Amino acid sequence: MSITDLNSERRHGRWAWMWLAYTGFIFIQPLMEPSRSLWLGTISCLIVFLAIFWNLFRAIRKPSSTRYWLVAATFVLGLVTFPWNQGASTFFAYTGAYLPFVIHSARRVVALLVAECLLILGECTVFNVVVPHGPFHIDWPNACVAVFITIVVGGGNIYFAQQRRADDKLRAALEENVTLAAVAERERIARDLHDVLGHTLSVIVLKAELAGRLVPLDPARAIAEMADVERTSRAALAEIREAIGGYRLLGLTAEIAAARRTLDAASVTLVAECNPDRNTLTPEEETALALALREAVTNIVRHARATTCRLRFITKDGQRSLVVEDDGQHATVCEGNGLRGMRERIESLGGRFSFECGIEHNHGTRLTLDLPHREAASS
């Protein structure tokens, strides 16, 4: 149970005990017609009712059959008490008040309220017609008042009970949405950190290795490469902060330029046949393609042992596609976090993701990212 539910239960508990004030009606007749037997009977009925009320309060919001029996016991207590204490009509009101909160179906509640009223009138008929000269008696006006109170209280509580259930459903839905949003945000951060760190650390490793090889051959260039490692590391820290807070990349064009620098450091030639027009992509699409390109370049640097990488952005009849090819020797590819992150991003936009190995003489790979038709995407 959440903290909100606990606070709601506590407030409900404080208000519930206030309704016991209506038990004061059963003391009207003993005060007006005082007798020892009437007082003892009234106090005994009150004790029984308090026991019922306490147990019903604990069970009324739980899916247990006990609460049905407790509501029935309240009504029976009213039937037993009403012939000798007309104030016992308050027990009928309590029964009418309980029913909407115990039974979800409004039709069933209405049917039970009608049955309750008929039983009250039936009891009145018995003591006025069948045994009119017995020790107990029920006046018709009192019976009509009891029926009226039962209908008003029960009918009114149908609305409040339905409203409470609707509020409970809304609260549960909101809590579920918050949970789902938190899960989605964790997944987004995990994907973005994987892409950012995987790419940047690969660049740092490459440049550090290059600087190590250049130290005896070209110290000045080695110093420049190490300075570039420092700049890349600082940029990585900023990207991690942006990934955690949610960010937009500088754009696909900037990512292509960064890919060229990374591939050059790995002695891989990038052939970019065209640069995309930013007007053909939404910010979400451009971000997804930029992150996919970053992950693709990272995989080429880490695993491909390639010499050439070809990048194509194709726009035809509203269809937008980014194709990344290399001539490397990839091992058998299993979809890990990087490829899975690409697929999820592209498919969340309504696009398609495909990854092919051995496209030419068992060498090379082709990554194709198809975005949805421009008109379909805009609609």
> H/E/C letters for each residue in 334-348?
CCCHHHHHHHHHHHH
CA separation for the pair 141, 21 (Å, rounded): 23
Give the per-residue pLDDT at 6: 39
Give the per-residue pLDDT at 369: 92
Q: Would residue 242 count as lying in a domain?
A: no
Cβ-Cβ contacts under 8 Å for 98 (sequence gap 6 or more): 56, 60, 71, 74
pTM over 0.85: no
**Count of domains for the chain:** 2
Domain limit, last residue, from 177, 205, 229:
177
The answer to whether the beta carbons of residues 45 and 26 sit under 8 Å apart is yes
CA separation for the pair 172, 249 (Å, rounded): 36
Alpha carbon 72 to its chain's center: 38
Give the per-residue pLDDT at 194: 67
Cβ-Cβ contacts under 8 Å for 87 (sequence gap 6 or more): 25, 26, 27, 28, 29
Give the per-residue pLDDT at 310: 92
Same structural domain for residues 255 and 375?
A: yes
Give the per-residue pLDDT at 222: 79
CA separation for the pair 236, 217 (Å, rounded): 29
CA separation for the pair 116, 148 (Å, rounded): 11
Q: Would residue 164 count as lying in a domain?
A: yes
The answer to whether the beta carbons of residues 236 and 197 sit under 8 Å apart is yes
Same structural domain for residues 50 and 142?
A: yes
Say which CATH number the domain at 329 has. Answer: 3.30.565.10
Quick one: 167 exposed, middle or buried, by C-beta within 10 A (0-12, 13-18, 19+)? exposed
Quick one: 183 exposed, middle or buried, by C-beta within 10 A (0-12, 13-18, 19+)? exposed
Give the per-residue pLDDT at 319: 78
Cβ-Cβ contacts under 8 Å for 283 (sequence gap 6 or more): 248
Give the per-residue pLDDT at 323: 92
Sheet holding 269-272, edge to edge: 269-272, 308-316, 319-326, 363-371, 352-360
A 10 A CB-CB count for 332 gives 5
For the chain, list residues with pLDDT below 50.
1-10, 247-248, 376-379
Q: Which of 172, 232, 170, 163 is nearest to 204 (CA)?
A: 232
Q: Would residue 229 count as lying in a domain?
A: no
Give the per-residue pLDDT at 55: 84
Same structural domain for residues 172 and 255?
A: no
Q: Which of 235, 206, 207, 230 is nearest to 301 (CA)?
A: 206
Q: Would residue 277 count as lying in a domain?
A: yes
Domain limit, last residue, from 124, 153, 177:
177
CA separation for the pair 294, 304 (Å, rounded): 15
Domain of residue 340, residue span: 250-379
Give the per-residue pLDDT at 227: 81
Q: Would residue 329 count as lying in a domain?
A: yes
What's the Cα-to-Cα distance from 96 to each of 58, 78, 86, 167, rounded to whole Å? 18, 12, 17, 22
